[in-house]
Structure 1
Amino acid sequence: MRADSERTVRKILEAAERVLAANPAATMEQLAQAAGVARTTVHRRFATREALLDELTGWAARQFADAVDAARPDAAPPLVALYQVTANVLRVKTGWSFAMNRTAGDAHPEAARIHAEVRARCVRLFRRAQEAGVLRPDIDLDWTRRVYYALIHEAAGEDTGGDADADALATRVVDTLLRGAGAAAGLAGQPGM
């Protein structure tokens, strides 16, 4: 019985993500229809629309953390881990775009805790990358993390016709992070810099 209940909840959450990504104002009835269950089934699992949205936010945050963990950022070689974390996170962000971009996520205690843990892991990974010579020794790691997050956000939002290739996007993000967009390796020592 419990496995059936978990499958039903997952089915509802996956349908809610699809429908809400296309129409954030969708009703509980529309979500139930997309999940292929009765509206009463949705209401039995989630008393309110807000309760469903909160669970969706928590679910997406857990998917996000699992994606980071799967890349082994504390054990894999830093460059390999950076690429794999990026590809895994892009898969989650493109698959769970509504829930991952929901502003209420900051108010969701579990999601906030998970995102803080992932931020800390990202800083550790960047520190390892810096120690391995992948990142410059003088780079500001917090700034680099914020730029990296912005690159991921932009890549996840890129209109690829619904056929986003996370590996290709990850390559683009990591390449842009590590090489930048300039013709020269750096501006230090350039006239006027």
Structure 2
Amino acid sequence: MGEAGTSRRMRADAERSVARILDAAETVLAQDPAASLERVADVAGLTRATVHRRFASRKALLDALAERLTRRYLLGLTQARVDTAPPLVALYRVTEIVFELKLSHRFAIQLTEAITPEVRNGLGTLFARLHEAGVITASDPAWCRRVYLALLHEVHDLPADAPALADSDATDEDARRVDLQIRTVLGALNAPPAQ
């Protein structure tokens, strides 16, 4: 095997190690936000030296978790077709995707660094399109985004037996959360102007 083949294999090994570390960090930090890099290494099944070689500090690890989540947010915005799908359909799809991410990334979802300007712009585009389509009356996409994100957190944290979730016709809990999120956001952003 030539030098190029060895280099590719080493890069692939490094990428797998980084993925294992990030997966382990997500699990460990969701349970204990103050957990050490050594604990992350144990759960990843790697040596401390490997984790420290990939992430020189806890901040570097947290930055990598935020970057990984940012990429998933951006993929979700693309999958929801916020630029082209009917805006209400895109809103439902984005909301489904974000709730899926909240379940699989319980720790990283709290990292405000993951809400980058690109993510904010994608949500802004969606809310601008909802306004243009007459679905909402609120015209400031930044305000709409803030309301949406604040409600996401609250709806996500509701206990499964919360009365607010019982108001939905949806059969599964995730769908009831999506339904509550959409109904509440539309209600908050669609109020007629004060007289």
- The alignment's TM-score, normalised by the length of structure 1, stands at 0.78
Change (3 A) 1:186 1:46: closer
- What amino acid maps onto 1:131 in structure 2? E
Which segment is superposed worse, 86-95 or 19-28? Answer: 86-95
- The question of 1:98 aligning with 2:107 is answered yes
The reply on whether 1:33 has 2:42 as its aligned counterpart is yes
Query: Separation in 2 of the partners of 1:158 and 1:15?
Result: 26
How far is the alpha carbon of 1:141 from its aligned partner? 3.7
Q: Write the mapping of 1:54-65 to structure 2, written as runs, cut at 5 A.
A: 54-65=63-74
CA distance in 2, matches of 1:64, 1:22: 23
Secondary structure of the residue aligned to 1:145 is: helix
Alpha-carbon distance in 1 for matches of 2:111, 2:48: 23
The residue number in structure 2 matching 1:174 is: 182
Query: Secondary structure at 1:133's aligned position in 2?
Result: coil
Is the Cα–Cα contact under 8 Å of residues 127 and 141 in structure 2 kept in the other structure? yes
2:152 alignment partner AA = I
Counterpart code for 2:118? E
Q: Secondary structure at the match of 1:97?
A: coil
Cα root mean square deviation, aligned: 2.7
Deviation (angstroms), 1:159: 4.7
Deviation at 1:77, TM superposition (A): 0.7
Structure 1 unaligned runs (5+)? 106-110
TM-score, L = length of structure 2: 0.77
Distance (whole Å) between structure 2 residues aligned to residue 100 and residue 31 of structure 1? 18
The sequence identity of aligned pairs, in percent, is 45
What residue identity is the alignment partner of 1:18? T
Equivalenced residues, count: 176
Find the partner of 1:18 among 27, 52, 55.
Answer: 27
Cα 1:188–1:49 shift into 2, 3 Å: closer
1:157 aligns with 157
Return the letter of the residue paired with 2:50: T
Higher RCO, 1 vs 2 (CA within 8 Å, ≥6 residues apart): 1
| 4+ residue segments displaced more than 4 Å | 185-189
Deviation at 1:160, TM superposition (A): 4.9
Contact residue 68 and residue 89 of structure 1 kept, 8 A: no
Q: Are 1:123 and 2:127 counterparts?
A: no
CA contact (8 A) 2:155 2:177 kept: yes
In the superposition, relative to structure 1, how do residues 12 and 115 fare at CA in structure 2: closer, same or farther (>3 Å)? same
Name the structure 2 match of 1:68.
77
TM-superposed CA distance for 1:102, in Å, is 2.8
Distance 1:186 1:41, change over 3 A: closer
Tell me what 1:46 maps to: 55
